[in-house]
């Protein structure tokens, strides 16, 4: 019978999902996600059809996904999707995988966004932040930009699929904005230092390096964002930025140096200072 064998794992036509869950070298949750994607089954169908024998084509398709996961590829890239702020987002190797801790940035922006306010998302990637804000606040005018044309293709698809009104611009930080001003500027920029060993570990090995690291000390893009923010914020507007686990103090210093008020940092669910920001008062 046709079979696939990878890293000691064999999946044979005629095997059942129940048997796969007992014997596969991956956590059961990951197997269910991959099986749902490969076989086009819902979670309930995975249960009700757990004893159904796999066809040769199904066994080959699922074994290939398991092989990719065993090689370390992130689940989100394998299935092409990740949930963020309760919404489904298309992802590919052109964009970072949206992470739960970034939802804090969305929550803080929504708390400070006035009625009919204007939001700018710098370095939007998959569009997760901009789309989540626009979806929650259809009254707002949301602009998102990125220097990667490939990322913008994904971001536009995500806005369309989630029925969110977002204007996208191909831009290196503020370059394409002229004199436009916003009530809120948000950003999750590259902030990993160039020699950080985490870049060669886990999911980060598969994600776009330019979206992870500034290829410098981890603060260079944050410096650019802080330095240019006053020109594009209204009086009383907020700049909110995600940063690394050990960068909060340095980012607060950057904000103070540019005259921001109410400078503070906020902790994510793990208790890590994940977002820092300040309010502009001229």
List, for residues 184-228, the tens digit of each pLDDT value. Answer: 999 999 999 998 988 888 888 999 999 999 989 999 999 999 999
The first and second tokens of residue 173, run together, are 């930080």
- Say if 83 falls within a structural domain: no
- Say if 204 falls within a structural domain: yes
* pLDDT over threshold 90, residue 256: yes
- Say if 271 falls within a structural domain: yes
The first and second tokens of residue 184, run together, are 């809120």
The answer on 212 and 114 residing in a single domain is yes
The answer on 100 and 26 residing in a single domain is no
Distances (CA, A) of 246 to 250, 251, 279: 8, 10, 22
Q: What is the pLDDT, as a whole number, of residue 4?
A: 42
Q: What's the mean per-residue pLDDT of the chain?
A: 93
Q: What is the pLDDT, as a whole number, of residue 9?
A: 62
Residue with tokens 């208790």: 271
- Decide which of 71, 86, 117 is a domain's last residue: 71
The answer on 103 and 39 residing in a single domain is no
Number of domains in the chain: 2
What are 119-152's pLDDT values in tens digits? 999 999 999 999 999 999 999 999 999 999 999 9
- Decide which of 15, 38, 71 is a domain's last residue: 71
**CATH code: domain of residue 202:** 3.40.50.150
What are 27-70's pLDDT values in tens digits? 999 999 999 999 999 989 999 999 999 999 999 899 999 999 99
The answer on 248 and 178 residing in a single domain is yes
Q: What is the pLDDT, as a whole number, of residue 102?
A: 97
Q: Which domain holds residue 49?
A: 3-71
Contacts of 136 (CB under 8 A, 6+ apart): 85, 106, 110
For residue 238, what are the β-bridge partners? 184, 279
Contacts of 259 (CB under 8 A, 6+ apart): 230, 280, 281, 282
For residue 118, what are the β-bridge partners? 141
The answer on 116 and 19 residing in a single domain is no
User: Would you say the C-alpha torsion 87, 91, 94, 100 has a positive or negative sign?
Assistant: positive
* pLDDT over threshold 90, residue 22: no
**Selected residue with higher pLDDT from 119 and 71:** 119
- Say if 263 falls within a structural domain: yes
The answer on 120 and 27 residing in a single domain is no
The answer on 144 and 239 residing in a single domain is yes
The answer on 63 and 99 residing in a single domain is no
Lowest pLDDT segment from 187-191, 224-228, 250-254, 278-282: 278-282
Q: What is the pLDDT, as a whole number, of residue 57?
A: 92
User: What does the alpha-carbon distance between residue 22 and residue 41 come to, in Å, rounded to a whole number?
Assistant: 19
Range 247-251 average pLDDT: 98
Question: 276: part of which helix (H) or strand (E)?
Answer: strand 273-279
């Amino acid at each position: 019978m046709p079979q696939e064998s990878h890293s000691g794992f064999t999946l044979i036509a005629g095997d059942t999902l129940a048997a796969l869950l007992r014997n596969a070298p991956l956590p059961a949750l990951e197997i269910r996600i991959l099986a749902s994607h490969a076989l086009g089954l819902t979670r309930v169908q995975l249960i009700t059809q757990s004893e159904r024998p796999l066809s040769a084509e199904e066994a080959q398709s699922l074994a290939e996904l398991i092989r990719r996961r065993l090689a370390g590829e992130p689940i989100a890239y394998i299935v092409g999707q990740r949930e963020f702020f309760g919404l489904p987002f298309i992802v590919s190797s052109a964009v970072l995988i949206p992470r739960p801790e970034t939802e804090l940035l969305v929550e803080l922006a929504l708390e400070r966004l006035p009625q009919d306010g204007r939001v700018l998302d710098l370095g939007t990637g998959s569009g997760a932040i901009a789309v989540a804000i626009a979806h929650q606040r259809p009254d707002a005018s949301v602009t998102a930009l990125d220097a990667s044309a490939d990322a913008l293709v994904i971001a536009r698809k995500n806005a369309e699929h989630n029925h969110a009104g977002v204007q996208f611009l191909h831009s290196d930080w503020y370059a394409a904005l002229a004199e436009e001003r916003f009530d809120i500027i948000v950003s999750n920029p590259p902030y990993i230092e160039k020699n950080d060993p985490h870049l060669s570990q886990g999911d980060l090995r598969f994600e776009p390096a330019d979206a992870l690291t500034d290829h410098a000390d981890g603060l260079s893009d944050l410096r650019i964002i802080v330095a240019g923010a006053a020109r594009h914020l209204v009086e009383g507007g907020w700049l909110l930025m995600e940063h690394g686990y050990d960068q909060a103090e340095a980012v607060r210093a950057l904000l103070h140096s540019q005259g921001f008020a109410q400078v503070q940092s906020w902790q994510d669910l793990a208790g890590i200072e994940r977002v820092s920001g300040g309010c502009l008062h001229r």
